[in-house]
């Protein structure tokens, strides 16, 4: 067969191409979180309305719907950019392995289709469909969010832990796409981790917005309900995420020992490896960190004397940038732990006293929790993706072999930065406008709509 | 037809649907851009916005469908096309971002001036994107995309007579489709003034599109002779004839104000152009690369075909529901129809204590299976326990009357 693989080329702007891709992910992933979790919250509010007949819940569901559709629109286009970039930036990657992993995206396309179709029906069907059918039209959105993330993450799992093909003279042969994507155990922890992250990020961001409103003195029944629903979800999801994170780290330890060595700054293969909290990796050791003997071996392998592979197991040009991944990993774990603590505080007050917390400090922390959860989310993806470097397909294809030969990457990068900056301003403006629309006005508008 | 052709047929059907559905959304943007000032301009822009608001996202996904099918089933061709045509595709991508942004912004815009600015952004990107995508298609059709990583010329591959012609045709045919659809929508809403305005636009843009198509034959005769041969003398001819007949027939239907029938006529006229291109170029995908050579292995093709057919079984009924609701006016802005029955007022009893205990048990079980046990099956149970912990915990803790 002719041309099933493209020859690698030299690209002067490899780093810019990588940053451009990373930027596009950073912009898209928070929107993915809203795509995963927000429809479920909106539907819950609508369900409360259907059960109680209380107009408050209806107003809440309708206002959230407007936010949902605005963010979905932005998510659609930023997601499209990613599928363009697969070819624009990494033609040798898609050219060589498109046959292996493409199926996942093709199926994801259908999930995305269903999401787009039913968002259209749900959003424009308020008051025009019967209450029951309208509520039902929301379910495909929630399900498609689940299957869509399953598909995308199966591709990422394959990139981290490739299987289902053989390499012969630079070509992928003997391809079994179904095995490659779904016969691969590695992606399950990524999927659960990301799915829960969707609820944490959405929950804390939405709750944080109302926490901020409370600090500025807006605290009616509407705000209390709007805060309690997402906060309860986030408060439960974040402790669960700590446990899932531990599972994920152990899977990484087995499948990607080099990534684990970079996350933890392990220079040499050791038995009974210590854990370092904080610190900076330099000259083959972690400086200024808090050292806890044998903890890493215990955490990774449930044995305090287990052997942990060090960075020295691979040549220097096959190691990821240690400090980037290490800092990202520690940020994610640190913030995740703080969020879990905040969640436990909330749940304790909620269960012991049957009310919401009253301390101003709690609401200050909650206002901060939203943006922090975003930082943790992005840091988590930096850990996963930069930790895989210099491979685009782990131990099969280097990122340098995947990059485009096209010129003009700096121009494209600069353009994209400017466009995304405008996008960020636009989204901030829309969300502010939607938040400011006075409640009575909104309610009246719905009555007339 | 061979197995290796089938995914390409799917991709082309997807492309045709993108051209007639997504293309019309771009066309709606074009009419917003040219709506003019004042009260009338505003009414035209609002009508165009409301007609596409519920469906543009679904219509947009066809593009992603085409991309994913091509890169899965014909990976080397996709890599070559994307890297050589990177400029054109990047411009299209930027246009797509602006379109989505404009759409999101409109939900927050209240003032007349704000809306006008946003519609301007939407309109400009609605011209930019189809032009760039059409130019990219022109590059492939005129055989300017060789096999290899950025092996073709980065500029002349999409800035050439054929590309510019296809790009302009994409803009004009989208506008034509949009005008026909919007006339039909205006008729359904009973708005005679808008109906008249869009009918004129449909007739005008239809004539321009037809004239352009004829002029385009001269362009490709000089610039892309193999394509011309395939279209006029080869297997593309029937599609060309169908397109011409449907195009003229649709103009007649628009003239006679039979907009519903005109909708379908316009779709056939435009979709036939895509079919004609495919037939004229077959079996060559890129110069020196036939469809057969570009195709992935047997297993991959089967997997793609199964996935697309299975996906289609879910997709088409769903799309059917969406378009049925839309065409019957059930999603219209001004519609008063629909159920507004008040729900019964039931008190919610979530049994917080029981649910809370269940949640705690699930958390403990999740910890045991996921973090202490080592086996894969135990991890699966553990992850499920944790998800159930969140669900039951939510039922126990969510404050309903706070």
Q: Which chain B residue's Cα is nearest to A186?
A: B376
- Compute the average pLDDT of residues A409-424: 92
Of B383, B395, B387, which Cα lies nearest the Cα of B357?
Answer: B395
Chain-chain contact of B100 with A177 (C-beta, under 8 angstroms): no
Collapse the DSSP code of B286 into the 3-class scheme (helix H, G, I; strand E, B; otherwise coil) and give the result: strand
**Whether residue A166 has pLDDT greater than 60:** yes
CA angle B141, B142, B144 (to 5 degrees): 105
Query: What distance in Å separates the CA atoms of residue B11 and residue B81, rounded to the nearest whole number?
Result: 15
CB under 8 Å to A361, separation ≥6 — which residues? none
| Alpha helices, DSSP H, located in A256-289 | 257-264
Structure token pair of residue A311: 């960075």
Cα first-last separation, chain A: 60
State residue A288's pLDDT score. 86
**Whether residue A176 has pLDDT greater than 90:** no
Q: Grade residue B228 by pLDDT with cuts at 50, 70 and 90.
A: very high
State residue B373's pLDDT score. 85
Q: Which chain B residue's Cα is nearest to A433?
A: B108
Query: What distance in Å separates the CA atoms of residue B101 and residue B60, rounded to the nearest whole number?
Result: 14
Collapse the DSSP code of A287 into the 3-class scheme (helix H, G, I; strand E, B; otherwise coil) and give the result: strand
Q: Grade residue B348 by pLDDT with cuts at 50, 70 and 90.
A: low
The answer to whether the complex's ipTM is over 0.90 is no
Q: Which chain B residue's Cα is nearest to A192?
A: B383
Chain-chain contact of B104 with A83 (C-beta, under 8 angstroms): no
Nearest CB partner across the interface for A74, out of B64, B104, B372: B104
Q: Grade residue A3 by pLDDT with cuts at 50, 70 and 90.
A: very low
Sign of CA dihedral A331, A333, A337, A343: positive
Are A17 and A369 a contacting pair, CB within 8 Å? no
User: Would an 8 Å CB–CB cutoff place B81 in contact with chain A?
Assistant: yes
Q: What is the 8-class DSSP label of residue A273?
A: P
**Whether residue B402 has pLDDT greater than 60:** no
State residue B333's pLDDT score. 58
Count of alpha carbons within 13 angstroms of residue A93, beta-carbon side: 24
Query: What distance in Å separates the CA atoms of residue A374 and residue A202, rounded to the nearest whole number?
Result: 9
Mutation site, B299, B300, B311, B356, interface A, largest A CB count within 10 A = B300
Of A368, A257, A384, A381, which Cα lies nearest the Cα of A318?
Answer: A257
In order, the DSSP letters of B121-172 are HHHHHHHHHHHHHHHHHHHHHTT---SSTT-S-TTTTTSSHHHHHHHHHHHH
In order, the DSSP letters of A72-117 are HHHHHHHHHHHHHHHHHT-HHHHHHHHHHHHHHHHHHHHHHHHHHH
Q: Grade residue A449 by pLDDT with cuts at 50, 70 and 90.
A: very low
User: Would an 8 Å CB–CB cutoff place B79 in contact with chain A?
Assistant: yes
Query: What distance in Å separates the CA atoms of residue B181 and residue B202, rounded to the nearest whole number?
Result: 9
3-state class percentages of chain A: helix first, strand second, coil last, to nearest 5: 75, 5, 20
Q: Grade residue A283 by pLDDT with cuts at 50, 70 and 90.
A: confident
**Whether residue A445 has pLDDT greater than 50:** no
State residue A117's pLDDT score. 92
- Scanning B97-116 for CB atoms below 8 A from A yields 97-101, 103-105, 107-110
Residues of chain B contacting residue A87, judged by C-beta atoms under 8 Å apart: 67, 71, 78-79, 81-83, 89
Mutation site, A44, A94, A435, interface B, largest B CB count within 10 A = A94
Nearest CB partner across the interface for A103, out of B96, B304, B314: B304
Query: What distance in Å separates the CA atoms of residue B330 and residue B349, rounded to the nearest whole number?
Result: 35
**Whether residue B353 has pLDDT greater than 50:** yes
Residues of chain B contacting residue A69, judged by C-beta atoms under 8 Å apart: 104, 107
Mutation site, B51, B53, B57, interface A, largest A CB count within 10 A = B57
**Whether residue A135 has pLDDT greater than 70:** yes
Query: What distance in Å separates the CA atoms of residue A177 and residue A151, rounded to the nearest whole number?
Result: 12
CA distances from B160 to B78, B140, B281 (A): 21, 11, 18
- Compute the average pLDDT of residues A261-279: 88
Q: Grade residue A11 by pLDDT with cuts at 50, 70 and 90.
A: confident
**Whether residue A101 has pLDDT greater than 60:** yes
Q: What is the 8-class DSSP label of residue A290?
A: E
Shortest Cα distance, chain B CAs vs residue A284, angstroms = 31
Q: pTM of the entire structure?
A: 0.90
Chain-chain contact of B72 with A99 (C-beta, under 8 angstroms): yes
Structure token pair of residue A237: 């999801």
Nearest CB partner across the interface for A105, out of B68, B367, B374: B68
**Whether residue A435 has pLDDT greater than 80:** yes
Chain-chain contact of B399 with A224 (C-beta, under 8 angstroms): yes
Q: Grade residue B336 by pLDDT with cuts at 50, 70 and 90.
A: very low
Phi, psi of B49 (to 5 degrees): -65, -50
| Alpha helices, DSSP H, located in A162-317 | 177-182, 187-215, 221-255, 257-264, 295-301
Collapse the DSSP code of B35 into the 3-class scheme (helix H, G, I; strand E, B; otherwise coil) and give the result: coil
Structure token pair of residue A72: 């979905």
Chain-chain contact of A188 with B379 (C-beta, under 8 angstroms): yes
- Compute the average pLDDT of residues A396-411: 87
CA angle A178, A181, A187 (to 5 degrees): 150
Query: What distance in Å separates the CA atoms of residue B180 and residue B243, rounded to the nearest whole number?
Result: 16
Note the pLDDT tens digit of each residue in A291-315. 888 888 888 888 888 889 988 889 9
- Scanning B3-32 for CB atoms below 8 A from A yields none
Structure token pair of residue B133: 């995508």
- Compute the average pLDDT of residues A61-81: 91
Query: What distance in Å separates the CA atoms of residue A339 and residue A238, rounded to the nearest whole number?
Result: 6
Burial A349-386 (b: 16+ CB within 10 A, else e): bbeeeeebbeeeebbebbbbbbebbbebbbbbbbbbbb
């Amino acid at each position: 067969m002719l041309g099933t693989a493209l020859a690698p080329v030299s690209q002067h702007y490899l780093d810019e191409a990588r940053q451009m891709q990373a930027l596009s992910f950073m912009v898209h992933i928070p929107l993915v979180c809203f795509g995963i979790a927000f429809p479920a919250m909106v539907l819950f509010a609508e369900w409360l309305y259907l059960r109680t007949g209380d107009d408050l819940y209806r107003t809440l569901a309708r206002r959230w719907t407007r936010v949902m559709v605005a963010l979905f629109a932005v998510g659609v286009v930023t997601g499209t950019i990613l599928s363009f970039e697969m070819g624009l930036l990494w033609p040798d990657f898609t050219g060589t392995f498109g046959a292996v992993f493409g199926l996942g995206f093709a199926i994801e396309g259908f999930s995305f289709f269903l999401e787009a179709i039913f968002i259209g029906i749900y959003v424009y069907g308020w008051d025009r469909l019967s209450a029951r059918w309208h509520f039902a039209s929301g379910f495909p959105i929630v399900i498609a969010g689940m299957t869509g993330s399953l598909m995308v993450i199966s591709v990422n799992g394959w990139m981290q832990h490739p299987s289902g093909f053989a390499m012969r003279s630079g070509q992928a042969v003997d391809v079994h796409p179904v095995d490659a994507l779904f016969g691969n155990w590695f992606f399950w922890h990524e999927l659960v981790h990301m799915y829960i992250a969707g609820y944490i990020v959405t929950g804390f961001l939405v709750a944080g917005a109302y926490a901020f409103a409370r600090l500025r003195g807006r605290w009616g029944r509407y705000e209390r309900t709007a805060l309690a629903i997402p906060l309860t979800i986030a408060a439960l999801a974040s402790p669960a995420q700590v446990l899932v994170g531990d599972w994920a780290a152990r899977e990484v330890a087995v499948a990607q020992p080099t990534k684990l060595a970079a996350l933890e700054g392990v220079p040499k293969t050791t038995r009974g490896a210590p854990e370092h909290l904080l610190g900076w990796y330099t000259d083959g050791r972690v400086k200024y960190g808090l050292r806890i003997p044998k903890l890493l071996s215990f955490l990774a392998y449930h044995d305090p004397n287990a052997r942990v592979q060090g960075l020295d197991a691979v040549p220097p040009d096959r190691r990821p940038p240690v400090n980037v991944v290490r800092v990202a990993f520690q940020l994610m774990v640190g913030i995740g732990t703080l969020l879990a603590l905040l969640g436990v505080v909330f749940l304790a007050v909620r269960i012991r006293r049957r009310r919401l917390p009253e301390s101003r400090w709690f609401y200050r922390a909650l206002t901060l929790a939203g943006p922090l959860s975003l930082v943790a989310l992005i840091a988590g993806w930096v850990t996963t993706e930069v930790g895989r470097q210099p491979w685009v397909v782990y131990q099969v294809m280097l990122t340098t072999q995947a990059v485009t030969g096209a010129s003009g990457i700096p121009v494209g990068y600069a353009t994209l930065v400017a466009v995304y900056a405008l996008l960020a301003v636009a989204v901030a403006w829309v969300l502010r406008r939607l938040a400011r629309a006075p409640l009575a006005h909104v309610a009246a508008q719905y009555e007339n709509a | 037809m061979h197995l290796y052709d089938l995914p390409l047929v799917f991709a082309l059907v997807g492309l045709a649907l993108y051209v007639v559905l997504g293309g019309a959304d771009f066309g709606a943007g074009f009419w917003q851009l040219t709506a003019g000032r004042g009260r009338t301009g505003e009414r035209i822009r609002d009508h165009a916005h409301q007609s596409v608001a519920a469906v543009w996202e679904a219509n947009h996904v066809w593009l992603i469908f085409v991309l994913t099918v091509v890169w899965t089933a014909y990976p080397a061709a996709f890599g070559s096309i994307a890297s050589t045509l990177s400029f054109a595709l990047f411009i299209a991508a930027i246009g797509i971002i602006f379109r989505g942004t404009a759409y999101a912004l409109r939900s927050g815009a209240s003032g007349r001036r704000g809306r006008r600015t946003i519609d301007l952004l939407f309109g400009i990107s609605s011209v930019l994107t189809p032009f760039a995508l059409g130019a990219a298609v022109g590059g492939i059709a005129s055989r300017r995309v060789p096999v290899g990583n950025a092996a073709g010329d980065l500029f002349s591959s999409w800035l050439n007579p054929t590309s510019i012609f296809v790009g302009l045709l994409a803009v004009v045919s989208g506008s034509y489709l949009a005008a026909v659809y919007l006339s039909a929508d205006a008729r359904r809403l009973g708005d005679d003034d808008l109906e008249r305005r869009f009918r004129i636009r449909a007739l005008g843009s239809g004539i321009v599109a037809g004239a352009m198509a004829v002029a385009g034959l001269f362009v490709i005769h000089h610039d892309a002779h193999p394509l011309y041969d395939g279209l006029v003398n080869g297997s593309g001819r029937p599609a060309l004839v169908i397109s011409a007949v449907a195009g003229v027939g649709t103009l007649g239907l628009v003239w006679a104000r039979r907009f519903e029938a005109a909708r379908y006529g316009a779709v056939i006229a435009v979709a036939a152009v895509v079919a004609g291109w495919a037939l004229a170029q077959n079996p060559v995908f890129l110069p020196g690369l036939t469809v057969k050579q570009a195709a992935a292995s047997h297993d991959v093709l089967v997997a793609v075909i199964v996935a697309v057919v299975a996906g289609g079984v879910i997709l088409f009924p769903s799309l059917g529901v969406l378009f049925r609701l839309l065409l019957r006016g059930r999603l219209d802005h001004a519609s008063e129809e629909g159920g507004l029955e008040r729900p019964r007022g039931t008190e919610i009893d979530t049994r917080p204590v029981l649910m809370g205990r269940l949640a705690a048990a699930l958390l403990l079980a999740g910890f045991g299976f996921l973090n202490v046990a080592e086996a894969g099956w135990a991890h699966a149970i553990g992850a499920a326990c944790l998800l159930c912990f969140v669900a039951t915990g939510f039922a126990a803790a969510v404050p309903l009357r706070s």
